[in-house]
A and B are shown apart, each in its own frame.
Chain A
């Protein structure tokens, strides 16, 4: 395995990536993307923008038409097996054998990555316990609920201890409680140093989890940067406030709009000075949704 020394520490470096499918559909049209090591990165875009194709190329399930892809400085064209070793992937669709037991799916996957069976069994126990699937280890996968199947995909992706975890809409169809549990687990993995690339349609997920993001449109990256910085680019934000008039003690609902670079705390302070107390604040529209729509315009 030949490792190319580069200055920056990048988990993913994609340059001029193009993909034209057999039917002539151009899914990627010169996509450029950089994801730093240790990042929690969101890849956003409408349906058909090219997110899944990009993930497919990274994970060797889709052949690229042109461009260069490096994963932890390994060249996909020259060191495909080294690239594969770095990646754990959680696909959008369930793609395990429905007749196999949970434990067999996990341990086999470890074997394909060269992890000895005894080590794989030990790791499987740790991961399945962390994902609350240990009790189901001897169940065939088709008997699991949708949420359990999602967690099984995550467990399978983690069994060989990848440096890069790619999640393609991992919380689709997952209930709120489970989603929060998955977020917590993913945050822990990222804290421990794992680079995570996430695609999702739950934009709240991006705001909660991701440090950086890129927006894809028609096979090209149209914006990339820090989630917080991009959110600041919104011109204004709307809030719904539940307020009390100090003298009349009457509850009222009011809508306010403030510039994106202004603080909501300053507004509360001003209202308080006028004898209006704020009991509750809710953003009128999701900020990430606003940003998403703005970038897509």
Chain B
């Protein structure tokens, strides 16, 4: 009774973003390509190596992770809110599909889109640099857990959202700044101590740093701390989503 609703939801979600690939897959690939060209090729050639890695190679994990974060988050928030807005979410709510399956189905859709976009961006990076992958399992673990955390975050946003503006507010005012200040373009070791300490409160920093460790075998933080944080966020967000769905916030009067 769990497997069939889960595969149905996952299939529906993946069909949705694949059907509108020009809105869901193509834009992040173009955006990140522009970053590679402008920051990597044009500006990067004038920037010295970071921790013994060329600036272009340093950028690759950050830009891949940035696309994974944005894609997994926006996939779930837009899909869930779209269903809420059209009231087609009632199809799920009148069914015996458990809330755990609803969370798993939507989150898996987000993770899948995040990983597909991340893979495409990684492939694009080959046109500019041949990044080294030292710890493949760490790369896979970080990309999966990060996509999962942001897909779950997207679901929380989708549940809370009451109007279309609410879908983009978190993404624009919180997620994007945190991503840009999360070490995509620089190592925090290069920042003054004050800003290093401030940056440590940014969870995205640990995700990108851990992911980069998988490529180059060096990180600003202990990799175990980063993994622990990702697992903690996953648990908190699963519990929060379960609570919100049980209450039926914005869906059940």
Contacts of A85 in B (CB 8 A): 96
Is B162 located at the chain interface by the 8 A CB criterion?
Answer: no
The answer to whether B137 has its CB under 8 Å from any CB of chain A is: no
Check B253 against A108 for contact (C-beta < 8 Å). Answer: no
Selected from A60, A100, A104, the residue in CB contact (under 8 A) with B93 is A60
- In the assembled complex, the Cα of A174 lies from the Cα of B87 at a distance in Å of 22
Which A residues from 61 to 84 make CB contacts under 8 A with B?
Answer: 61-63, 80-82, 84
One of B3-11, B67-75, B142-150, B217-225 contacting the partner:
B3-11
**Contact residues in B for A283 (Cβ distance below 8 Å):** none
Q: How far is the CA of A84 from the CA of B8 in the complex (A)?
A: 18
Contact status of A114 and B86, CB under 8 A, knowing A21-B253, A63-B248, A156-B91: no
Complex CA distance for A88 and B243, rounded to whole angstroms: 26
- Cα–Cα, bound, A85→B97 (Å): 10
CA distance A85 to B96 in the complex (A): 6
Interface residue ranges of B1-57 to A (CB < 8 Å)? 1, 4-5, 7-9, 11-12, 15
Q: Is A109 part of the binding interface, using a Cβ–Cβ cutoff of 8 Å?
A: yes
Q: Is the CB of A62 within 8 A of B96?
A: no
A residues near B5, Cβ cutoff 8 Å: 111-114
What's the minimum C-beta distance from A154 to chain B, rounded to whole angstroms?
Answer: 14
Nearest-Cβ distance from residue A34 to partner chain B, whole angstroms: 22
Residues 66-122 of B at the A interface (beta carbon under 8 Å): 82-83, 86-88, 90-98
Task: Enumerate chain A residues within 8 angstroms of B87, measured Cβ to Cβ.
Answer: 93, 95
Asked if A144 is at the interface (CB within 8 A of a chain B CB), the reply is no
A109 to B4, CA, bound (A): 11
Task: Tell me the bound Cα distance from A138 to B106 in angstroms.
Answer: 24
Asked if A81 contacts B94 (CB within 8 A), the reply is no
Contact, CB under 8 Å: A104 / B1: no
Interface residue A222 (Cβ < 8 Å from any Cβ of B): no
- B12 pairs with A91, CB closer than 8 A: no
Q: A62-B253, A63-B253 are in contact. Are A109 and B86 (CB under 8 A)?
A: no
A22 at the binding interface (Cβ < 8 Å):
yes
The answer to whether A114 touches B1, judged by C-beta atoms less than 8 angstroms apart, is: yes
**Quick check: B8 and A60 within 8 Å, CB to CB?**
no
- Asked if residues B94 and A87 are in contact (CB atoms below 8 Å), the reply is yes
A48-63 Cβ-contact flags toward B at 8 Å (1 or 0): 0000000010011111
* Pairwise interchain contact A111-B7, C-beta atoms closer than 8 A: yes
State the Cβ distance, A88 to closest chain B Cβ, in Å: 9
- Interchain nearest-CB distance for B20 vs A (Å): 9
With A and B bound together, what is the CA distance between A97 and B86 in angstroms?
6
Query: Once the chains bind, are B96 and A95 in contact (CB under 8 Å)?
Result: no
Give the chain B neighbours of A95 by CB distance below 8 A: 86-88, 90-91
A112 to B12, CA, bound (A): 11
For B91, list chain A residues within 8 Å (CB). Answer: 95-96, 105, 108-109, 112, 156
Give the CA-CA distance A80 to B8 in the complex, in Å: 21
Give the residues in chain B near A108, CB-CB below 8 Å.
8, 12, 91
Find out whether the CB atom of A114 lies under 8 angstroms from the CB atom of B253.
no
Q: Within the assembled complex, what's the spacing in Å between the Cα atoms of A84 and B5?
A: 14
Of the candidates B9, B82, B87, B94, the one having the most CB atoms from chain A within 10 angstroms of its own CB is B94
Q: How far apart are the CA atoms of A91 and B15 in the complex, in Å?
A: 26
Using a CB–CB cutoff of 8 Å, the interface residues on chain B facing chain A are 1, 4-5, 7-9, 11-12, 15, 82-83, 86-88, 90-98, 248, 251-253
A-B contact pairs, 23 of them (CB 8 A): A21-B253, A22-B253, A60-B93, A60-B94, A61-B90, A62-B252, A80-B96, A81-B96, A89-B94, A96-B88, A96-B91, A97-B88, A98-B86, A104-B12, A111-B9, A112-B8, A112-B92, A112-B95, A113-B5, A113-B96, A113-B97, A114-B4, A116-B4
Please name the 4 residue pairs, one residue from A and one from B, whose CB atoms are nearest each other, closest first. Answer: A111-B8, A112-B95, A81-B96, A95-B87
- A residues neighboring B (CB under 8 Å): 21-22, 56, 59-63, 80-82, 84-85, 87, 89, 91, 93, 95-98, 100, 104-105, 108-109, 111-117, 156, 160
For the complex with contacts A63-B248, A95-B91, A111-B7, 13 further pairs of A-B residues with Cβ separation under 8 Å are A59-B94, A62-B252, A63-B252, A82-B96, A89-B94, A97-B83, A97-B86, A98-B86, A100-B88, A104-B15, A113-B5, A113-B97, A114-B5
